[in-house]
Amino acid sequence: MTTKILIVSRGSGFMMDALDSNLKKSGFETVHAEPVVQSIENVKEDTDIIILLADEYVYESADVLVYLKDLCEDEGLPICLIGYSGEMEKIRQYIPDKCIVREFKRPFDAKNVTEKLKDIAKVTEEKKLGKHILLVDDDLTFLKMLQGWLSPRYRITAVKSGMQAITYIANHTPDLILLDYDMPITPGPQIMEMIRTEFNASEIPIIFLTGKSDRESIMNVMRLKPQGYLLKAMPKDDILASIDEFFENNKWNNRM
């Protein structure tokens, strides 16, 4: 799928033409708009990334900056800034840091900007694919089965040990971890404790996978305060419904 980049700039010039050429050579689709709300509105459909090529117009275009902020917040569009320090400062009065994924100060290198945009495009494409679930289970048969059930709806990464999960989380942030409770060597509760102490992983929701449905076992699971538990013996439709409900409502309803 081609990544579409909307370049907002006043007029054209050597540097903008060089950037446009480099982006197209790298497989990006580019569209252009003047720093006018209607001009952006006319071409914004299916945009994946916005590049704001700033100059003095930013000092008199508050309506455009507010409009771009709304696009970011309402449609999740990342914004890259190109400009001088004063222009960047003015833009940040209207567009919050959470919307700005990258800054490039003038004079800029078109090839360098293009390379950085490749990384941003990769993240953007991943987000478009949906929620990301990390499956952790040493039972390869169950792991493959659950992965097959979930992969049509979610992005799935599957690992067969707790330590593989820790290594993966060091560089990735899934939206949910489905963690086997009864793994050998390093059991689920210990892995959960390790995950919770990782700076970037302390808030990732964890739901235990367990094959035991007796009250004592379930209470032992819930004492650890995960977001919930999932019985491995549950029917496929119930498993899918529970996970769908979790993402829709940000709340887990344990099903027996």
**Looking at the chain, which residues constitute the CATH 3.40.50.280 domain(s)?**
4-128
- pLDDT tens digits for range 12-41: 888 899 999 999 999 999 999 999 999 999
Per-residue pLDDT band at 152 (split at 50, 70, 90) = confident
What is Dmax (Cα atoms) for the chain?
Answer: 71
Convert 183-216 to b/e letters by CB count within 10 Å (16 or more is b).
beeeebbebbebbeeeeebeebbbbbbbebeeee
Assign domain 132-249 one CATH number from 1.25.40.390, 3.40.640.10, 3.40.50.2300, 1.10.645.10: 3.40.50.2300
Query: Is pLDDT larger for residue 256 or for residue 188?
Result: 188
Kindly state the percentage of the chain with pLDDT values over 70: 91
Half-sphere exposure of 112 (CA within 13 A, CB side): 10
* Rounded Cα gap, residues 92 and 72, in angstroms: 13
pLDDT (average), residues 68-91? 92
Q: Please, which residues have CB within 8 angstroms of residue 119's CB and are 6 or more apart in sequence?
A: none
The pLDDT of residue 251 is: 58
- pLDDT tens digits for range 228-240: 788 888 899 889 8
Comparing C-alpha atoms, which of 136, 144, 208, 137 is closest to residue 172?
Answer: 136
* Rounded Cα gap, residues 68 and 79, in angstroms: 8
**Looking at the chain, which residues constitute the CATH 3.40.50.2300 domain(s)?**
132-249
* Rounded Cα gap, residues 256 and 253, in angstroms: 10
The DSSP result for 49-60, as a single string, is EEEEE-SGGGGG
Per-residue pLDDT band at 131 (split at 50, 70, 90) = confident
Q: How many residues does the chain have?
A: 256
Q: Which fold has domain 4-128?
A: Rossmann fold (3.40.50)
The pLDDT of residue 200 is: 66
The pLDDT of residue 25 is: 95
Backbone angles phi, psi at 66, to 5 degrees: -65, -40
End-to-end CA gap in the chain: 41
Half-sphere exposure of 13 (CA within 13 A, CB side): 12
